[in-house]
Amino acid sequence: MIRSIQYLRAVAALTVVWVHARYVIPGVAEQLGAPYFGGSGVDLFFVISGFIMVVTTAGKDVTPHRFFVLRIIRVVPLYWLATLAVIACAALAHPFKVPYPPMEIAKSLLFVPYASRQGGGVWPILENGWTLNYEMFFYALFALSLAAPRRVRLPGLAVILGTLVLIGKVFGPFAGPVASFYSGGWLLEFAAGMILAHGWLRVGSRDWLPLSLSLFLIVFGFYCIGALHSRFIIMGGAFLIVAGCLSPRICAIQNRPLLEFGNASYSIYLIHPFVLDALAWPWVRLFPLATWASSALFMALALVLCAFAGCLCYRFIERPMTSQLRKLVKDSGAYLRSQTSS
């Protein structure tokens, strides 16, 4: 485990909460102004994902099947629970009406992008699950790359991701949601994370950038994702932040709360809309007119409650469920090997 990456995951998750919380209560966004970091938490997640996939498979004989199964165990169960919770809530609100067509439910659960009826965007039922469509697509491509010779895995996959984005720029925008979605520029962030991991592994964790340069990259990276609005520059900013956080001096920092939030970042990301909605219902009755003070108080409370709820979800749902599924897969593999050998 790279501590600083876990800390950065915590920052990314809480940044997403910060952005979404501003638009749950009418008037809060107007009182506090536009969020400085925008949606950059997602950019950090994508770069980190590309980085981690390379680091965790480097020097190991991981089969495409095993890699993809472990990724499914990591991502799918909690996402399905959260999606089904949205469907259940909608069904309770409208007991005599089917909340979502079966095809939308199937596409949401299977990570197939589709044009949502709400707002016309490409959103699954759990709207923040759109990032997982990208994640699962990247995992599928990465799994396939593991079947190739080691020397061509990273450059081959990076070229594929870059080519998809280039096709989208040259021939897009496409009418179909699948083609349009999977030719989006977000794919470059996975490639950037992979390239960063390759450089970090070659240089060595102890010989990575000196602390002064790393701090500069982090500060400049946050400036890029906050003060500038070019998508390409924001991607570059996310890359610089992750690169800077790999300094051995920064990796050595020990912070228990940030580590806990980092471990729970996936739970925080998935369940925070439920927490925000639950908080918003009494809040608008207590403070019908948004002021700067009430807006700031709401944002602070939202961050605390979402982080706390995410940690509870991680400890009592995500981690036990993931551990049991990993054990089940491991036991099944051992059983099949024993049957084969006998």
Burial class (CB in 10 A: 0-12, 13-18, 19+), 96: exposed
Cβ within 8 Å of residue 139, ≥6 positions away: 53, 67, 68, 71, 75
pLDDT at 332: 72
CA distances from 176 to 103, 173, 192, 264 (A): 16, 9, 27, 35
Ranges under pLDDT 50 in the chain: 335
CA distances from 212 to 198, 225, 275 (A): 22, 20, 39
- pLDDT value for 225: 87
pLDDT of residue 333: 63
Q: Is the dihedral of CA 229, 16, 74, 8 positive or negative?
A: positive
pLDDT for the residue 338: 53
Residue 275 parent element (H or E): helix 265-286
Q: How many CB atoms lie within 10 A of CB 276?
A: 21
Write the CB contacts of 257 (distance below 8 Å, at least 6 apart in sequence).
none
Instruction: Supply angle C-alpha 37, 1, 245, rounded to 5.
Output: 35
pLDDT digit string (tens) for 98-148?
A: 788 999 999 999 999 998 776 567 899 999 999 999 999 999 999 999 999
**What total of structural domains would you count in the chain?**
1
Q: Which residues form the domain of 175?
A: 3-341
| pLDDT tens per residue across span 157-189 | 999 999 999 999 999 888 889 999 999 999 999
Token duo for residue 188:
């470059």
